[in-house]
Amino acid sequence: MRASPSIIPGIDRDVYLVLDDFGRMGCAWRDTNVEDTDLEAVIQDLLEGQYSNPVRVVGFNLSEGWVRDVSEEIALRLCQRCADEDRELPDSLHQLVEKTAARA
């Protein structure tokens, strides 16, 4: 039996995806370009309001064979970035930060 090819061939790095809540329409993993899935790009997109109501962030690396919920780590980084840049946390991120703080 032949092995199926990887869904993301040739990428040997961590990839991050955001689950966005669209209210009555439901939740969806946001469509993104491969280049925009590294940690810094996702943090920037979150801070710039590219997501309506982010509820979870997952990270994975197919080459290393792992996947995990990184929402708490992302929330901490978002808060730290806002503090470092002396800026307010965008309204769209409050629920994500509060929800992950409650789980910690």
Is residue 7 a part of any domain in this protein?
A: no
Is residue 3 a part of any domain in this protein?
A: no
Is residue 58 a part of any domain in this protein?
A: yes
Is residue 27 a part of any domain in this protein?
A: yes
Mean pLDDT of the residues in the chain: 89
- Number of structural domains found in the chain: 1
Q: What domain range includes position 21?
A: 15-103
Express each pLDDT in 29-58 by its tens digit: 988 888 889 999 999 999 999 998 999 999
CB 19 within 8 A of CB 56: yes
92-100: list long-range contacts, CB under 8 Å, 24+ apart: 92/46, 92/49, 92/51, 92/52, 92/53, 92/54, 93/46, 93/47, 93/54, 95/53, 95/54, 95/55, 96/54, 96/55, 96/56, 96/57, 96/71, 99/55, 99/71, 100/71, 100/72, 100/74, 100/75, 100/76
Those residues of the chain that have pLDDT short of 50 are none
pTM attached to this predicted model: 0.84
The count of C-alpha atoms lying within 13 angstroms of the C-alpha of 52, restricted to the half-sphere facing its C-beta, is: 12
Is residue 10 a part of any domain in this protein?
A: no
